[in-house]
Structure 1
Amino acid sequence: MTKRLSLLAILGVLLLALTVAGILVDPSAVPGPAHVAMLGWLVILLGISAAVYFLSVWWVLRAQWPKQTVWLVLGIAALLRVTLLTVPPMLSTDIYRYVWDGRVQAHDINPYRYIPVDPALAGLRDSRVYPHINRKEYARTIYPPVAEMVFGLAGRVWDSVNSFRLAALAFEALGIGAMLLLLPLAGLPRERILIYAWNPLALWSFASDGHVDAIAVGFVGLALLLRARRRHGWAGAALAAAVMAKFLPIVVAPALLRGGRFWRPAAAGLAVIILGYAFYSGAGRHVLGFLPTYGAEEGLDSGQGFWLLAGLGSILPLPGFAGALYVALVALLYAGISLALLRRPPPANDAYRLCQDAGLLIGVALVAISPHYHWYFAWAALPAVVAPSAALLWLATAPLLLIIDPIGNSHFLWPSLIYLPAAALLLVELRRRQAQPRPLPAATGEIACPLQSR
């Protein structure tokens, strides 16, 4: 047992050393063509980190561990995050918009009302945050109300990049804490929290760059825990809060509605959404911010922003309605999978199947939507803590490749390294689940997960 713990500690220290090496590379400090080269070196280091992470996950899942192992896992996780906090954000400038929106709200101004270059906000500009805001010349903020509330609170407490990075880590801690409470409900050991806590994509997305997706991580984890404890209304409210921080978690909703629980979570979630937008309703039609035009900028309207359509478009010309048709087909596929999940009676081990279903829905949505940015995928590691699958772990880690684009503005060839394996793994998972016998109706309480090997 001591030898196993020592090996796990060595893997954690190696992951920490690779993180320090990535910090020393620091592509943001290198201008011009050398910046691209340094990004390449950073991705190589992160690829090695991913290999160490996968080995750590495999080791944790296959071995039996003493109870104190979870403290080793959490200790390494904390060191990794503190290490990344010591340097400025390296891979994205999005956090500067968060700080700006917080500053605007600290001066009692609706963040949806003005673009940053508007003369009405000239008095808030500085040399520390303002120059780094992306799309400041033409875009209102795109972030939904719960995200804006967090920005506003962080801006009132401490007007700085580190203020929101600490807030992001606090929401990450909420998600990690929720999963630590959920694991025993599934009859699983708590050291499995390593699956999220050591994930390099989550580390660099949140501790380094402070992406808003961390808020969603906290609320999604809370929603899964509340649903597993049969607190259906509160679970719906928590998921709605996640959606109002980052729209993508809406794809998890069918997993929470299993077993005929619909009206209470739906009503609670709708109330959160309505109250959130009502809070910022003073901006009128601008309360949606940059969202209505975001799809056109990302190539989603034309269809070229979707991985699969980008590939088809490189072979033959696509009609103008290709994007709309693709979205409709994806919606039908997603609805079919959701209905299949909803029709199955709740199993005895509801906590495990809850996370398994949530993970499947997340995986299908991510491959179908094919985001262009690596941080969109980090939250996929959360349900994998309870119900790991090859597809989900791949999608929660491989998008580190999106940090670079060696082919040049390609939405198909380079992303294929991520989406082709993910699609294949999802098909295997879907076929395996289709072949499984229908579970019997749930008994009272939880039982140990039948897939656990201890």
Structure 2
Amino acid sequence: MTINYSVNKTQIIRISLFLSLICLYAAFGYDLERTEYFKLISLYAVLCFLSVKIVQLNNENNSPLFILSILVRFVFLMAIPNLSQDFYRFIWDGRMIFEGFNPYLYTPDSFLTQGISPVPEAQILYNKMGPLSASHFTNYPPVSQFCYYLAAVFSNHSILGSVIVMRLLIIAADFGTFFFGRKLLKNLNLPVSYIYWYILNPFIIIELTGNLHFEGVMICFLVMSLYLLQKLKWQWAAVAFSLSVATKLIPLIFLPLVFKYLKLKKGFLFCAIVGLINIALFLPFISSEFITNYAGTVGLWFKNFEFNSSIFNIVKGIGYAFTGNNEIKILGPIMALLVILYIAITTYRSPLKDLKNLLFNMLLILSVYYFTTTTVHPWYISLLVILAVFSGYKYPLVWSATLILSYLAYASADNKENLWIIGLEYIFVYGAFIYEVILKKQIGRKQIEE
């Protein structure tokens, strides 16, 4: 009787945790404003705690975790994103393509300030996307644009309908990541259960499925590419990598590492395939005006925009002390050049003998980029989280838990960041990074010497 009671008690605890998690996600998706900072932080903290406990309790039997990962994503199906307004611009771009416009050639301002409505629900989308998005040209690559276009094809007159279509695409991508991620973990001789630190991570569920950020699609193609690389199918890996870049540009940062990993001939052909496919995907939109607009918009991320930065905030503060001005237009590009130099040195010095070493160096250079850049929106870190799954490092998971603090900027009327809050976030991140990447390595070396 005692054994049966113990089994039933364990099952009851497990079911209770599952139901609690689902209810909390429902509260997060349907009953939360991003300005409700105490509620936001509290809900997120409990979600993180419960998710860790659930993964730990089901470590031996992963089937319940897979079912739960499906359920919590579909909880958000009918929810309008509440932490980000970017999706309104996604809908706008998709409907522009559907109506026959090139989305790279026009800003929403260029239409609405003249009283022209080029797409259905134009005024609502314009008002909701905010003045920053409305006044700039789009910078989303063609695979992302195709996803937005699909939302217009299936729901051109309903914002909620468009949201549902895009959410289904992101959910499908997450399970593509799950499928190829498990295979890659198995081939790397790592526990396949590690994939749940990504697929059941509250940060991933909220930022990708909940807030409709297409980093999920980018990650799916990148994980597919890594799996194909591990299987020595480098040509197909290049195709998958191309689609990842054509969803979000950030994987381009890994090309030098992949080039060296594959050696000269294969590396050159890999890069050539990536370049040619991306040119082909951009080709329907290309014009001299497109090149000017796109380059200018991408450049803004280094010279104008700033959010949740760490080292850059320190450098900017030093610049203030000397000049009395925010020197982002000078300091941003300098920081970017330093990162390029770091990537070149890391690529040259790293042996890259196997995929594990490649994954670690990908994690490292991306971390350095995010540590030094001017803008670190929460959803950017999703790429670090998936690389952590395959490399065994935990500091990106710590970052995914503390990033919620960056949303406290919206608690003030002018959306001004509190540097003390940002400092608190990065104390945890840098503490975990220094311990894992530097101190543990030194401790290991000392033990070997002894």
- Would the TM-score normalized by the shorter structure come out above 0.5? yes
1:85 to 63, 77, 80: 77
Farther off after superposition, 331-340 or 88-97: 331-340
State the match for 1:445 in structure 2.
none
Deviation at 1:76, TM superposition (A): 0.5
Which ranges in structure 2 are unaligned for 5 or more consecutive residues? 1-5, 157-161, 446-450
Rounded Cα–Cα distance in structure 1 between residues aligned with 2:247 and 2:429? 26
Could you tell me whether the CA contact under 8 Å between 1:115 and 1:141 is conserved in 2?
Answer: yes
Task: Give the 3 Å change call, closer, same or farther, for CA 51–255 of structure 1 in structure 2.
Answer: farther
After superposition, give the CA deviation of every residue in 1:292-319 in whole Å (9 maximum; x if it has no partner).
24654x6745989742232344355256
- Corresponding residue SS for 1:87: coil
Number of the residue aligned with 1:14: 20
CA distance in 1, matches of 2:236, 2:207: 28
Identity of aligned residues (%): 19
**Aligned residue in 2 for 1:328:** 337
Instruction: Show the counterpart of 1:133.
Output: 129
Change in CA separation of 1:104 and 1:51 when aligned onto 2, cut-off 3 Å: same
Which has the larger displacement, 3-12 or 391-400? 3-12
Contact 2:170 2:209 in 1 (8 A): yes
Match of 1:229 in 2: 231
Within-5 A mapping of 1:100-249: 100-119=92-111, 122-126=117-121, 129-134=125-130, 135=132, 137-159=134-156, 160-249=162-251
1:396 to 392, 400, 412: 400
Is contact 2:104–2:290 with CA below 8 Å preserved after alignment? yes
Partner secondary structure for residue 23 of structure 2 = helix
**1:39 maps to what in 2?**
37
Partner SS state of residue 404, structure 1: helix
Change in 2 beyond 3 A, CA 1:345/1:391: same
Specify the code of the residue in structure 2 equivalent to 1:151.
Answer: Y
Q: How does 1:359-370 map to 2 (within 5 A)?
A: 359-369=363-373
- CA drift of 1:204 comes to 1.0
Q: 1:256: which partner in 2?
A: 258
Does the Cα contact within 8 Å between 1:224 and 1:235 map onto a contact in 2?
yes
Per the normalisation by structure 2, the TM-score is 0.81
1:339 equivalent to 2:348? Answer yes
- Report the CA distance shift for 1:238/1:302 in structure 2 as closer, same or farther (over 3 A): closer
Partner of 1:267: 272
Q: Match of 1:329, as an amino acid?
A: L
Cα RMSD (Å):
3.1
> Secondary structure in 2 aligned to 1:409?
coil
Q: Residue 159 of structure 2 aligns with which residue?
A: none
CA distance in 2, matches of 1:249, 1:6: 43
Q: Which shifted more, 358-367 or 265-274?
A: 358-367
- The aligned amino acid for 1:430 is V
Query: Within 2, Cα distance between the matches of 1:4 and 1:358?
Result: 40
Cα pair distance change 1:409/1:209, threshold 3 Å? same
Paired residues, number: 416
CA contact (8 A) 1:202 1:378 kept: yes
Query: Structure 1's 434 and 175: CA in aligned 2 closer, same or farther, altered over 3 A?
Result: farther
Using the alignment, how far apart are the partners of 1:56 and 1:256 within structure 2? Answer: 36
Report the Cα offset of residue 254 of structure 1: 4.5
Superimposed CA distance per residue, residues 144-198 of structure 1 (whole angstroms, 9 cap, x where no aligned partner): 2221122223322333222212122222222222112212212234332211111
Answer 1 or 2: which has greater helix percent.
2
CA distance in 2, matches of 1:304, 1:115: 23
Q: Do the aligned residues in 1 keep the contact of 2:305 with 2:374 (CA within 8 Å)?
A: no
Is the contact made by 2:254 and 2:362 (CA closer than 8 Å) also made in structure 1? yes
Is the 8 Å Cα contact of residues 84 and 207 (structure 1) preserved in structure 2? yes
Give 5+ residue unaligned stretches, structure 1. 28-34, 438-454
Taking a change above 3 Å as real, the CA distance of residues 385 and 4 of structure 1, as seen in their structure-2 partners, is: farther
Work out whether residues 90 and 148 of structure 2, in 8 Å CA contact, stay in contact via their aligned partners in 1: yes
Which position in structure 1 is the counterpart of 2:311? Answer: 308
| SS at structure 2 position matched to 1:345 | coil
Distance of 1:196 and 1:304 partners within structure 2: 24
CA distance in 1, matches of 2:172, 2:222: 14
CA distance in 1, matches of 2:199, 2:186: 17
Alignment check: 8 A CA contact 1:378 1:397 kept? no
Greater relative CO (CA pairs within 8 A, separation 6+): 1
Query: What SS does the aligned partner of 1:96 have?
Result: helix
